[in-house]
Structure 1
């Protein structure tokens, strides 16, 4: 039996709990700040592990499991559409672009630190 499903499951449980914790700690005032934060941070962590040459087991545990459960593309999408439908067009566009740019900068920083 392979340990891969166990590693992904354990990492996923940790990532889900961490995601919940960020949502509880970060006050949003209607803005999807917690989702923005977890997506940028998760991108950084996964990028750092990848560029630093983490082994397959670490990538399964932290990358696929923890980062996969911690980050949330679906919440990002819903937050963007909800802002758009409320008529907050600038917020929707700013949030979408900010998330993409923030994740890109986080990935660049991870690449610089991990190589």
Structure 2
């Protein structure tokens, strides 16, 4: 049952990420997805502490598939190899710092709501 919850959540997370990447291509789309996923992750942590099913389906499955470290890494390497080091470093810093900021904002919102 746990595996099925992760698989279903992962299916919908991956489909959602792909749909956004069709609308907003390149680094901007992945940055948006990763920051939004971080915000939702932080918000969801309060709920997940109380309900294990949400943690399995939503956090591990959906948000795990929705956010994407591998695409972030590929885009960083592609920019770096095209001699766009400042773009690559800016993208990496925005993604990492943005992720921490948005998960913190989500945590604060969740703390306020729950």
TM-score (norm 1): 0.90
Aligned residues: 110
Structure 2 residue runs without a partner (length 5+): none
Deviations 1:21-51 (A, max 9, x none): 000111x3xx411111111111111111113
Q: Comparing both structures, which one devotes a greater share of its residues to helix?
A: 2
Tell me if the contact between 1:51 and 1:110 (Cα under 8 Å) persists in the aligned partners: no
* Structure 1 residue aligned with 2:7: 9
RMSD: 1.1
Structure 1 gaps, min length 5: none
What aligned pairs does 1:55-94 form with structure 2 within 5 A after superposition?
A: 55-94=51-90
Between 52-61 and 89-98, the greater mean CA deviation after superposition: 52-61
Q: Distance in 1 between matches of 2:72 and 2:14?
A: 16
Aligned partners of 1:95 and 1:13: how far apart in 2?
27
Q: 1: CA distance between counterparts of 2:60 and 2:69? A: 14
The answer to whether the 8 A contact 1:35-1:75 is kept is yes
Match of 2:46 among 30, 48, 51: 51
